[in-house]
Amino acid sequence: MSTIASPRQSSFKKKLNGFRTYISKPQNAILLALGIILTITTIFPMVTIIRDTVSIHPGSIDAESKAEDAQVEVLGETYTGYNWSNLFTGTISTRDPVTRERKTQSIASTYLLTPLLNSVLISIFACVGAIFYGGIFAYLVTRTNLKFKKYLSSIFIFPYIMPQWTLAVMWQNLFNSNLVTGGNDGLFVSLFHVYMPKWWCEGIFPVSVVLALHYAPFAYILIGGIFRNMDANLEEAATILNTPRWKTFLRVTLPLVKPAILSTILLVFSSAMGSYPIPHYLKLATLSTQYVGMSSNRAGQASILAVIMMLFGFLILIVNQRTTSGRKNFTTVTGKSGQSSVVNLRAGKYILAAVFVITTLATGILPIILFAVETFLPNPGDYSFITHGIAGHMTTKWWLTAENVTENGMYGQKGILYNSEIWNAFGGTLIVAVFCALAAGTIGTLVGYCVSKNRRSKWAAYVNNMAFLPYLMPSLAVGVAFFVFGSNIGIYNTFLLLVLAGTVKYIPFASRSALNSMMQLSGEIEEAAIIQDIPWWKRMTRIIIPIQKTSIISGFLLPFMTCLRELTLFMLLCGQGKIITTMLGYFDEMGLYAFSSGINLILILVILVFNTLVNKLTGASLDAGIGGGK
């Protein structure tokens, strides 16, 4: 006797069969798994930090408060709203250092509003400066007959390749003075006996300038790529219609560059918002520096600052979605496709080239020279040898001291070349960088492949957003999320936590690189292999990866290079000697500035060597395709 299935059972079987058919395709199964993994690794740490804002921390101000009426117990855990109410409505009593009188200040104004305002301002100024400096340079390299393009294009990207704090330390070495900032006189004072005002040496102005110089290569790469590949039809049509060159630039060229400008604004704003080293060295209170200052005795309130930084990341993601989905396409009704015309600068091609040679020397070469010189000065930062002669004002003790020495300012440390702590930390950095590159590169490549195969799928769009979201999140916010997450599950100060955080943060590098290349790959190539019943893994290793090897290799190398110089993301996740970047603060606190300069020099040289090797072996470089090679 046969049984007739109910409509509900029949519907369930149809859905089950549809699901089986869906996951029978490797790209769908991988996409499903990646979506689950990325959701857990991206969203769960963020949820953890939100939970931390209402948790009670032993030894923190929320544990010492008498706000029992604001406490609730859920599943054996005690939560409180004290951190939120105290941060936004509380007051604090401080003593004026001059008059010694006590005054009451709003906690929100001191710990939240002022740092938030500073963070927003430096992010805005950094966007403006990076687009102005990098955009002008991109235009000159791609659309004019500027001289020395190959050299200038290579050196221009140095500030981004080098560690973020490089230019901040160089700014200190140039402009600090005993009269204005305390400490030794910098190079500028020693050479010209001119003392720069404090607003020039510390605060919003130098932080904004340094951030703009650091992120100007962003603008150069993004805007330069548009200039280089711009369809010549549009400008030629305007020329045929007798349109003045300035009007053509404003009405035709700039609208075409608008998407690249918006992308630059979003990337620079999110990166500058979470920057810690530059405001730290140049003494500006931002959300990042304020978090570090509050994390010991106001841990819950510090987590609120991290949540605010995360909200900026979500806002930037929304803006990015709106701007990219609404882009306009331009077509012409006249004109013949050809090469974009090159503007003849006449004598300006030499004058402007000389200006950029000087600026790129200052931002790309001078930091390396200064760091090297600092490691040979008896008193780092003291450039008095310029006026008194080099003899007797140089030493090799910071490099070649083979024994633990307590005198001569060594504080029991061996020289850099013999210092096992430095080289063990450098080895730890290489371990983290290699594993982050392997994990982020593999996952990012799979994300790019699967999303390109499911272009119209909402799930694919979700996975793509989850993969890209950590890049738009301020680095410190991601670091804080994994700090709280790792502390809760007992993996704080382990390589596992560092690799996990680095992988999640750097997946966007590989996913975007892979997605852009996979979108250009015709589906017929893989379909031909499917007809011949070739397994998926063999199609990937024998067909797809060899064809797109340059982009895929870049997806592995970018996380590796970035991880070598990462500080903001990792500084909360491990002790000072785990990786080399976290040792900088330790040596600065000890007064061993030659050691921190030596570490900076080692990092810069290693990164430049790897960048050169990558360029020579694969032909891939950050400025490839923009026109710097011509």
pLDDT of 456-500, one tens digit each? 788 888 888 888 888 878 888 888 889 988 988 889 999 999 999
Residue 144 phi, psi (nearest 5): -130, 175
Most confident residue range from 62-76, 333-347, 527-541: 527-541
**110, two tokens:** 């001191």
Please state, in angstroms and rounded to a whole number, the distance separating the CA atoms of residues 563 and 509.
12
Give rounded-to-5 percent helix, strand, coil for the chain: 70, 5, 30
In one-letter notation, the amino acid at residue 11 is S
501: pLDDT strictly greater than 50: yes
In one-letter notation, the amino acid at residue 361 is L
- For position 332, what pLDDT does the model report? 44
CB 127 within 8 A of CB 151: no
| Mean pLDDT value of segment 162-174 | 89
Q: Which residue has the higher pLDDT, 286 or 551?
A: 286
CB 194 within 8 A of CB 599: no
- Return the sign of the alpha-carbon dihedral for residues 343, 344, 349, 351: negative
627: pLDDT strictly greater than 90: no
105 membership: H or E segment, kind and range: strand 102-106
User: Among 8-22, 142-156, 417-431, 567-581, which stretch is predicted with the lowest mean pLDDT?
Assistant: 8-22
pLDDT of 240-275, one tens digit each? 777 777 777 777 777 777 777 887 888 888 889 888
73: pLDDT strictly greater than 60: yes
Q: Does 256 map to a domain?
A: yes
451: pLDDT strictly greater than 50: yes
| Mean pLDDT value of segment 133-155 | 88
Q: Which residue has the tokens 């105290």?
A: 86
User: How many independent structural domains does the chain possess?
Assistant: 1
**Residues near 271 by Cβ (< 8 Å), separated by ≥ 6?**
215, 474, 475
CATH number of the domain encompassing residue 353? 1.10.3720.10
CB 504 within 8 A of CB 40: no
Q: Which residue has the higher pLDDT, 193 or 427?
A: 427
Q: Does 36 map to a domain?
A: no
4: pLDDT strictly greater than 60: no
- For position 388, what pLDDT does the model report? 64
CB 137 within 8 A of CB 220: yes
Based on C-alpha coordinates, what's the Rg of the chain? 27
Q: Which domain holds residue 201?
A: 109-294+344-395
pLDDT of 327-382, one tens digit each? 455 444 444 444 556 778 888 889 999 999 999 999 989 999 988 988 988 888 77
164: pLDDT strictly greater than 70: yes
Q: Does 62 map to a domain?
A: no
The secondary structure of 199-219 as a DSSP string is HHHSSHHHHHHHHHHHHHHHH
Q: Does 22 map to a domain?
A: no
CB 448 within 8 A of CB 514: yes
- For position 502, what pLDDT does the model report? 93
List strand residue ranges (DSSP E) for 33-140, in order.
71-74, 77-80, 91-95, 102-106
Please state, in angstroms and rounded to a whole number, the distance separating the CA atoms of residues 279 and 287.
10
Confidence of residue 126 (pLDDT cuts 50, 70, 90): very high
Confidence of residue 279 (pLDDT cuts 50, 70, 90): very high
3-state secondary structure of 81: coil
Q: Which residue has the higher pLDDT, 200 or 556?
A: 200
- For position 66, what pLDDT does the model report? 56
CB 555 within 8 A of CB 444: yes
CB 304 within 8 A of CB 84: yes
Q: At what angle do helices 166-175 and 204-229 cross, to 10 degrees?
A: 130
Q: Can you say how many angstroms the Cα of residue 611 is from the centroid of all Cα atoms in its chain? A: 17
Where does residue 457 rank: exposed (0-12), middle (13-18), buried (19+ CB within 10 A)?
middle
73 membership: H or E segment, kind and range: strand 71-74
| Mean pLDDT value of segment 419-437 | 92
In one-letter notation, the amino acid at residue 368 is I
Distances in Å between the Cα of 256 and the Cα atoms of 129, 223, 232, 239, 519 are 20, 10, 11, 16, 21
- For position 247, what pLDDT does the model report? 75
Q: Name the residue among 490, 548, 498, 561 with its Cα closest to residue 519.
A: 548
Q: Name the residue among 158, 155, 177 with its Cα closest to residue 166.
A: 158
Please state, in angstroms and rounded to a whole number, the distance separating the CA atoms of residues 79 and 74.
8
- For position 409, what pLDDT does the model report? 62
- For position 1, what pLDDT does the model report? 46
Q: Average per-residue pLDDT in the chain?
A: 82
Q: Does 274 map to a domain?
A: yes
Q: Does 156 map to a domain?
A: yes
- For position 121, what pLDDT does the model report? 95
Between strands 77-80 and 71-74, the pairing is antiparallel
**218, two tokens:** 């962003």
Q: Does 141 map to a domain?
A: yes
Q: Which residues of 172-202 are buried (b: 16+ CB within 10 A; e: fewer)?
A: bbbbbbeebbeebbbbbbbeeeebbeeeebb
User: Among 150-154, 175-179, 339-343, 351-355, which stretch is predicted with the lowest mean pLDDT?
Assistant: 339-343
DSSP state of 405: B
**249, two tokens:** 């630039």
Q: Which residue has the tokens 């301002």?
A: 121
3-state secondary structure of 91: strand
DSSP state of 340: P
3-state secondary structure of 77: strand
- For position 334, what pLDDT does the model report? 45
Q: Does 368 map to a domain?
A: yes
- For position 557, what pLDDT does the model report? 81
Count of CB atoms situated within 10 Å of the CB of 283: 15
- For position 498, what pLDDT does the model report? 94
- For position 335, what pLDDT does the model report? 44
| Mean pLDDT value of segment 148-175 | 88
